[in-house]
Structure formats: C-alpha cells, structure tokens
Amino acid sequence: MKIYTRTGDDGTTGLIGGSRVKKHNIRLEAYGTIDELNSYIGLIRSMQSDTHTDQVLEIIQNKLFVIGANLATEESIDLIKKQLPCKKADIELLEAEMDEMNASLPELRNFILPGGCQASSFCHVARTVCRRAERHIVELAENKDVDANLIKFVNRLSDYIFVLSRKVNLDQKAAEILWLPEAND
C-alpha cells in the first residue's frame, strides 16, 4: 500500500465516509491535535520507567487513536461512531489514576512552573496540546455532533497529564519549580 495518494494536493483531505474538506477545517484541527498529543504521550512513555504508568499511557494512546478516528468520521456514518465511543469508564479510569497518584504527592499549595525532569517537562507540553485539542473539539461541537463523553475524556486527560508531571518529577527526584509572584514595588 502506498502512503501517498496525491488526493490532498489540492488542499483537501478525505473524511471516513468519503467526503472531502479543506485541510484547515476545524474537524481536522481537532483530530490533528489529538494525533499530536498521542505522539507526545509516546515520547513521555519512552522517557519514564514505571510499568504501571506505561500501561496506563498505552491505554490512553489507544483511546486517543479511537478519538481521532471518531473525529475523522462524517456525522452520517453512525455505525462507525457507535463502534468508537468514549465511555464513562474511560473517564473514571483517568480519575482513579489521578487519585492514586495524588495520594503519594505532596499537597499542592502553589502554582508550579513547567519543568523539573525532562519527562515532566514533556508532560507539560502534552498537557497544553491536550488543552488545545479540547478547544478545537469544543469548537467543532458547536456545529457538529460530538459525543459529550469524548469532550469530558479530553478535559480529564489534561488534568491527568498534569498530575503525571508531578509524579514523574517525584519518581525521578526532580524538584518542582514553584511559581513565585513578583513582590509589588
């Protein structure tokens, strides 16, 4: 199978279902940003060594692939969308994982700056990409049918990635960088 088709040379791309849209279409922004996020999750996986975290991140990567496919599917293709749901259990998994990680973390009393160890820094990049994906998905949902659980999952995922950034710093014995507001003159 050839990777290139030349069909996108005119600035359009095909959705699952066959219709073509401009490459700057909000639907493409949404699923393209999910793809970018998935790549950052893969990078984070390669930088940390906790087996359980790796397993959870793999589950997340698979779910992001499903979300991308869901967003790339025409609304008229109900059968495919029904086979690619975001379930309440997916959201609950993220919440349970956050609760478990938070139990071992020091209480957060200040804002923290992105940084610490390299893996934590990439978590912060992934978190901001996740927030951008969420904004695109919410914009898409203003005019198209988008599963509410999909939006909730992406929202919760950015929180999960934030907590993961803290856990990775703790695991690698890297200090969190506290935000210190400037003193008023």
CA–CA distances in Å: residue 5 to residues 8, 23, 31, 138: 7, 15, 20, 31
Which CATH number describes the domain made up of 12-178? Answer: 1.20.1200.10
CB atoms within 10 A of CB 119: 23
**Cβ pair 27, 140 in contact under 8 A:** yes
Whether the pLDDT of residue 161 is over 80: the answer is yes
Half-sphere exposure of 69 (CA within 13 A, CB side): 16
pLDDT of 157 reads 99
Q: In the block, which residue shows the tokens 């990049």? A: 125
Q: What is the pLDDT of residue 15?
A: 83
Please report the pLDDT score of residue 80 as a whole number: 59
What is the spatial distance between Cα 84 and Cα 97, in angstroms, rounded to a whole number?
22
What is the pLDDT confidence band of residue 82, given thresholds at 50, 70 and 90? low
3-class SS of residue 10: helix
Domain residue spans of the chain? 12-178
Question: What pLDDT sits at residue 13?
Answer: 85
Identify whether the C-beta of residue 91 lies closer than 8 Å to the C-beta of residue 64. Answer: no
3-state secondary structure of 22: strand
Tell me the per-residue pLDDT of 105-126, one tens digit each, with 9 for 90 and over: 999 999 999 999 999 999 999 9
pLDDT at 156 over 60: yes
79 pLDDT tier (thresholds 50, 70, 90):
low
